[in-house]
Structure formats: C-alpha cells, structure tokens
C-alpha cells in the first residue's frame, strides 16, 4: 500500500479494525515505511476525522468525544464539529518522557552533534538545526535535511540505547531537526524525517528519508517532554509547533506521571485534517509487482 505504484515514500496507511478495549469506538493499526508505530499524532487526527466525517462513528455537534485504540493503548479524542465537518481534533496521548538531554554524539561526515532523545509514542532523536549553518527548515532544503537527519539517526541508534518499560525492543526510529520560527502563530519549528531503508555510513545513497508533511504529533509530544525535563515548558503551558509547510499543532502537558523509574508527562495535541479523496485499490493477479516496488530516484 505504501510502495509504488499505490503509494510513495511519505505516505502512511491506517487500517481501521474492531477495538479490543471495551471503551474504544474503534482500533487502528498505523503503517509507515519501515515500522508499525505504537502511536502517531498526525495519523490519529486523520483517522478521527475520517471516522466522523464518513459516519463510521456518530458525529455530535459541537463536540464529539470518544476513545480510539492505538497499538500504544487508549487515545482520548475530542473533536470540534460544525455542519458535518471536523474543524479540530484534540487527542490525549500516552505519556511522553525524555531519555537523553543535551547529549553529544559523533556523527560520521558531520562531526559532533548535540541531541536530545524523547519518547512521544515513538523514540525521536532531536537536534537543533542551528548547529548546521548551511541548513534551514524549509521545503527547498528537503534533500539536505534528509541527508543530515539520516546520519544523525544512524549515529543515535548506534550510540544511545533506549528502552520503554511497556514496549520492549523499540529503539530510536525517527529524527527531528528543530529551531526557532518567525511565524507569530508558532513557538518553534520542526522537520521530522522518516527513514526509507537501513542507513549505511559507507553508502551515501542511503542517507535519505521522507519528510513529514505535517507538524508531527508524536514528535511534538517528544519535544515537549524534553523541554519539560529542561524546565523550559510547564504543565498547562501552550506550545505551538510548526511543521515544514507552516502547519501548526498546539500542544499542552496536562499531567506529570511515572513511567518506570522516569518522570513522564501526559500531552495533548490539537490539529486538523481533511479528507481529499475516496480511492479504490486493486491488485490484478497478473501484476508482476504484487508487493509494489521502490526505485532509487526517490526512495
């Protein structure tokens, strides 16, 4: 579904399934290019919007409230609705926490880079883009953003072991570059890169990935958790996180909790999604590429 000819590198797919938890209206399985994430914010906002606007879950105006069941567990949904449309979705995420703060790693081809690592539903390695004087968080820098992000991700995977008490075996899988913004409606800017395939320091063709087109919900949660751990964000503060396209998600930390032996925080994220089409996918039994394909020009 995500490979050509039916998809392309940044595409995600969500499979809606019956929920196992009795309090959930529906379950959903999140599919990305190289993993099945425990949680994804942009996908959650899109799934909630699609379920309400297609009538799979009854819409109640002005607010529809229900639970969805992600692989990570129950996700609380509050959807603002008007005239049959979802105008904003706010979800209450699983707890987030900081795993590393201001940690220096050795990144081949880049040198020493200072990073944070946070869990927001996935483990993110987060680096301030101002460490790279030639780089800006703008679409026209996309190719260089993916190159730098891939190298940082691989180095973090090699040098910074992580562990979540509830989800054993999950490591750092996503990289995030962040920095200040000149948007008066945002507090910070970020660009998240999802890898397309294994990264090899000796093979420049693998220093790539797909840029998140939205402001990244779980990435925002991870960023807020690291800011909280540094004392730069407090409970109930508003944090407006801007993505590469200028889309802004609004986050709040609503509760401090314990995650194993760590201090965690429960985040909420607000954003919006739009249905842009209804598609029928088919697979011809004579198709020579039933599993799709990836080609090195864009993958």
193 vs 128: CA distance, rounded Å: 14
- Residue 218: which of 170, 146, 147, 277 has the closest Cα? 170
Task: Please give the model's pTM, rounded to 2 decimal places.
Answer: 0.95
Tokens of 119: 């869990």
How does pLDDT run across 114-166, given as a tens digit for each residue? 999 999 999 999 999 999 999 999 999 999 999 999 999 999 999 999 999 99
Q: Is residue 206 part of a domain?
A: yes
pLDDT for 197 equals: 84
How does pLDDT run across 40-67, given as a tens digit for each residue? 999 999 999 999 999 999 999 999 999 9
Indicate the pairing of strand 262-271 with strand 239-242: unpaired
Q: Is residue 251 part of a domain?
A: yes
47 vs 44: CA distance, rounded Å: 5
SS (H, E, C) the chain: CCCECCCCCCCCEEEEECCCCCCCCEEEEEECCCCCCCCCHHHHHHHHHHHHHCCCCCCCCCEEEEEEEECCEEEEEEEEEECCEEEEEEEECCCEEEEEEEEEEEECCCEEEEEEEEECCCEEEEEEHHHCCCCCCCHHHHHHHHHHHHHHHHHHHHHCCCCCCCCCCCCEEEEEEEECCCCCCCCEEEEEEECCCCCCCCCHHHCCCEECCCCCHHHHHHHHHHHHHCCCCCCCCCEEEECCCCCEEEEEEEEEEEECCEEEEEEEEEECCCCCCCCCCCCCCCCCCCCCECCCCCC
Residue 12 neighbours by CB under 8 Å, 6+ apart: 2, 30, 31, 32, 40, 42, 43
Q: How many CB atoms lie within 10 A of CB 10?
A: 18
Residues of the chain with pLDDT under 70: none
pLDDT for 31 equals: 95
pLDDT for 34 equals: 85
User: Is the CB of residue 289 less than 8 Å from the CB of residue 107?
Assistant: no
Q: Is residue 166 part of a domain?
A: yes
User: Is the CB of residue 199 less than 8 Å from the CB of residue 174?
Assistant: no
Residue 164 neighbours by CB under 8 Å, 6+ apart: 119, 123, 170, 259
pLDDT for 298 equals: 84
Q: How many CB atoms lie within 10 A of CB 272?
A: 18
Q: Is residue 64 part of a domain?
A: no
CATH of residue 236's domain is: 3.10.310.10
Tokens of 127: 């680096």
Active-site residue list: 40, 216
Domain boundaries, position 218: 97-270
Q: Is residue 54 part of a domain?
A: no
263 vs 176: CA distance, rounded Å: 22
SS (H, E, C) 254-294: EEEEEECCEEEEEEEEEECCCCCCCCCCCCCCCCCCCCCEC
Q: Is residue 112 part of a domain?
A: yes
Q: Is residue 235 part of a domain?
A: yes
Q: Is residue 213 part of a domain?
A: yes
Q: Give me the number of domains the chain comprises.
A: 1
């Amino acid at each position: 579904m995500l490979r050509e000819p039916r998809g392309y590198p940044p595409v995600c797919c969500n499979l809606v399934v019956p929920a196992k938890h009795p309090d959930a209206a529906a379950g959903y399985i999140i599919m990305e290019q190289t993993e099945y994430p425990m949680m994804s914010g942009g996908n959650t906002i899109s799934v909630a919007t699609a379920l309400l606007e297609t009538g799979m879950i009854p819409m109640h105006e002005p607010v529809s409230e229900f639970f969805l069941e992600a692989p990570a567990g129950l996700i609380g949904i509050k959807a603002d609705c008007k005239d049959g449309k979802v105008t904003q979705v706010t979800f209450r995420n699983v707890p987030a926490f900081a795993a590393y703060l201001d940690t220096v790693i050795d990144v081949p081809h880049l040198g020493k880079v200072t990073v944070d690592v946070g869990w927001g539903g996935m483990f993110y390695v987060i680096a301030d883009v101002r460490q790279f004087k030639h780089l800006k968080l703008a679409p026209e820098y996309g190719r260089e953003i993916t190159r730098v992000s891939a190298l940082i991700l691989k180095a973090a995977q090699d040098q910074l072991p992580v562990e979540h008490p509830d989800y054993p075996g999950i490591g750092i899988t996503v990289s995030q570059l962040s920095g200040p913004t000149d948007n008066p409606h945002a507090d910070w800017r970020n660009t998240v890169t999802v890898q397309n395939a294994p990264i090899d320091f000796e093979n420049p063709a693998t220093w790539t990935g797909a840029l998140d087109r939205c402001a990244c919900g779980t990435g925002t949660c991870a960023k807020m958790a690291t800011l909280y751990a540094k004392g730069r964000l407090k409970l109930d503060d508003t944090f407006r996180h801007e993505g590469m396209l200028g889309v802004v998600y609004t986050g709040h930390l609503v509760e401090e909790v314990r995650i194993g032996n760590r201090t965690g925080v429960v985040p909420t994220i607000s954003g919006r999604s739009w249905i842009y089409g209804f598609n029928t996918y088919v697979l011809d039994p004579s198709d020579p590429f039933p599993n799709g394909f990836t080609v090195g020009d864009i993958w």
